[in-house]
Amino acid sequence: MQAHSSRRLSPEGEACDLTASSAVRRQRHETTGTHVRASRSALNGDIRLDTDVEMRPLSREESIREAVILSFCDPLSDQCLLLLDLSSREWRRLLDWLDISGLALYFLDRMMELQLCGLVPPAVIDRLQQNLLDNTKRTRGMIAESVAIQKEFQESCLSYATLKGFSLSPLSVPKPELRHQFDLDFLVAEENVSLARHILERRGYRLYAISGRSWEFKINEMPGVPLRDLYKDLPGRSVELHVEVPVRGRPSMLERKEERDFYGISMPVLSPIDLFLGQGLHAYKDICSEFSRAAHLLEFRRHVLARCNDNAFWNELRVVAEENPAASLGLGVVTQLITHVMGDFAPEAFTSWTVHRLPSSALFWVDLYGRHTVCKKFPGDKLYLLLQKELEFAGVPAKRSLQKALLPLRLPPPAVMASANEPLSRRIRRYLLQLDVFLSRLRFHVVEGLRYTRESRLWLQRMNRMVR
């Protein structure tokens, strides 16, 4: 395997000079039962962790997932050799995780790039190639729908910009068909949101939920779509409108948007700075949730590597991000987590005002839980609340209170809404699906709430051993 990786570096590997610490970091990860000494006084100057903590080693299943993630590094880690020794059952479980994490098609593309498909059983390669064919068709369908919606937006002179998704190509996503995209996201000016809603409803979409500044619409939703149909071009579509509310003294992102050619139309996208900042903070929001998709971290890493030597970009980003101190800390958490798992990749011009400003407790959380966070299985856990609580002390507001996160009092939103003249069979399926969602979420909150309670006691003991 190393013979393949030393033959040439991918463009990612050429973008930055990776130091020897990357290999040292991965070698440490491959050793179980190791200790970590967290000493961060040089970074924030007021708190120093001076404690040896035995890190819980990854399970075999988590180590296999980490091997997949490390396959995107140059040079390849010896841990990737784990993939040579998987049983059929382990491959099935890994494929499920690859699907949910968003890495399945990226992994296939990486194996083909390195000419290492022999590392993977033929049946797995065949399955992934079929997924790629399905997702290519699905992507074309989503592109056609996006173009149709945007044409109506533009005909109505609506102020908007495309968010995430297709706007991430090519810096973060080399080929759109490799990314599994759940919905279409648009940033819309506050005064235009009603018009945008009218356009979507005229196309057959129904408003499902309003959460803060996000409006979620769906069309042709189907109850209980199985995981095996994840990549198929089904008729169901989702659209999210994100409302931009003007803030006095702060320039509007829609005023800074740029135009990009997109399948026959001129598609407005965020400026390079806003695009990077939005992607990084979306990845941070993902980390501070029960389950984070590893694909978001890989895409952000690619974006950083693509901009690695662009000092003018980092300087402009710093000016914009420092208007909101929470932004630099959020970017720091994402960057430190990726570095902890995959090795050094970000330039000093970026880390000096992000990673280096993180509280010692946040850095310690990454040391202690970072690898498990990236490699955990769905539906995840609640250990992110430990990080969220520490960052609150640094001025990063929590999305919701600890009490609401541990024991939500609201029922889960409907998986599928009722429709007019709904047949009895569909209604029964919808009720059974909603019951299954309720019971699974109830079990999750009970089990992971108890686990969080146990871990929070251990965390408090560690924090009490801090030397101030």
Asked, for residue 392, whether it belongs to a domain, the answer is no
Asked, for residue 277, whether it belongs to a domain, the answer is no
pLDDT digits (tens, 9 = 90+) for 167-210: 999 999 999 999 999 899 999 999 999 999 999 999 999 999 99
Asked, for residue 359, whether it belongs to a domain, the answer is no
Give the Å distances, CA to CA, from 237 to 123, 148, 159, 409: 30, 13, 22, 29
Rg over CA atoms, the chain: 23
Residues 50-59, mean pLDDT to the nearest whole number: 66
Neighbours of 314 (CB within 10 A): 22
Residues 6+ apart with CB under 8 A from 165: 146, 179, 181, 183, 184, 185
Give the Å distances, CA to CA, from 328 to 277, 354, 374: 9, 5, 21
Q: Burial level of 112, CB count in 10 A (0-12/13-18/19+)?
A: middle
Residues 221-234, mean pLDDT to the nearest whole number: 81
pLDDT digits (tens, 9 = 90+) for 408-426: 888 888 878 887 788 888 8
Spatial CA neighbour of 262 closest among 398, 170, 137: 170
pLDDT bucket at 16, cuts 50 / 70 / 90: low
Give the separation between CA 440 and CA 379, rounded to whole angstroms.
9
Beta partners for 258? Answer: 269
H-helix or E-strand containing 60? helix 60-70
Asked, for residue 147, whether it belongs to a domain, the answer is yes
Which domain range does residue 188 map to? 141-270
Asked, for residue 134, whether it belongs to a domain, the answer is no
Neighbours of 68 (CB within 10 A): 24
Residues 220-239, mean pLDDT to the nearest whole number: 84
In this structure, what token pair is assigned to residue 464? Answer: 């009490």
Q: According to the model, what pLDDT value does residue 57 have?
A: 86
pLDDT at 155 over 80: yes
Asked, for residue 252, whether it belongs to a domain, the answer is yes
Residue pair 338/345 in contact by the 8 Å Cβ criterion: yes
Asked, for residue 312, whether it belongs to a domain, the answer is no
Q: According to the model, what pLDDT value does residue 9 have?
A: 33
pLDDT at 53 over 60: no
Spatial CA neighbour of 105 closest among 180, 182, 11: 180
Beta partners for 188? Answer: 160, 243
Q: Helix 325-342 to helix 272-287 angle, to the nearest 10 degrees?
A: 70
Mean pLDDT of the chain: 86
CATH number at residue 212: 3.30.460.40
Q: Kindly report the CA angle at 131 between 221 and 302, in degrees rounded to 5?
A: 100
pLDDT at 12 over 90: no
In this structure, what token pair is assigned to residue 120? Answer: 């993977």
Asked, for residue 251, whether it belongs to a domain, the answer is yes
pLDDT above 70 covers what percent of the chain? 87
Spatial CA neighbour of 420 closest among 255, 204, 243: 204
Residue pair 381/56 in contact by the 8 Å Cβ criterion: no
Ranked by mean pLDDT, the top range of 8-12, 20-24, 71-75, 218-222 is 71-75
pLDDT digits (tens, 9 = 90+) for 280-316: 999 999 999 999 999 999 999 999 999 999 999 999 9
Q: Print burial letters for 350-389: b (CB count within 10 Å at least 16), e (below 16).
A: bbebbbbbbbbbbbbbbbbbbbbbbbbbeeebbbbbbbbe
Give the separation between CA 178 and CA 297, rounded to whole angstroms.
15
pLDDT at 42 over 90: no
pLDDT above 90 covers what percent of the chain? 67
Residues 6+ apart with CB under 8 A from 112: none
Question: What's the pTM?
Answer: 0.87
pLDDT digits (tens, 9 = 90+) for 130-146: 999 999 999 999 999 99
Give the separation between CA 167 and CA 177, rounded to whole angstroms.
13
pLDDT digits (tens, 9 = 90+) for 340-399: 999 999 999 999 999 999 999 999 999 999 999 999 999 999 999 999 999 998 888 887
pLDDT at 331 over 60: yes
Q: According to the model, what pLDDT value does residue 30 have?
A: 42
Q: Burial level of 123, CB count in 10 A (0-12/13-18/19+)?
A: exposed
Give the separation between CA 261 and CA 453, rounded to whole angstroms.
51
How many independent structural domains does the chain possess?
1
pLDDT at 1 over 90: no
pLDDT bucket at 33, cuts 50 / 70 / 90: very low
Spatial CA neighbour of 186 closest among 252, 269, 266, 296: 269
Neighbours of 430 (CB within 10 A): 20
Q: Print burial letters for 15-39: b (CB count within 10 Å at least 16), e (below 16).
A: bbebeeebbebbeebbeeeeeeebe
pLDDT at 435 over 50: yes
Residue pair 65/257 in contact by the 8 Å Cβ criterion: no
Alpha helices in 358-420 (DSSP H): 360-375, 384-393, 402-406
The amino acid present at 381, given as its one-letter code, is D
Residues 317-321, mean pLDDT to the nearest whole number: 93
Give the separation between CA 455 and CA 147, rounded to whole angstroms.
48
Neighbours of 56 (CB within 10 A): 12
Write the DSSP symbol of residue 170: T
Q: Where are the beta strands (DSSP E) in 192-245?
A: 206-211, 214-219, 237-244
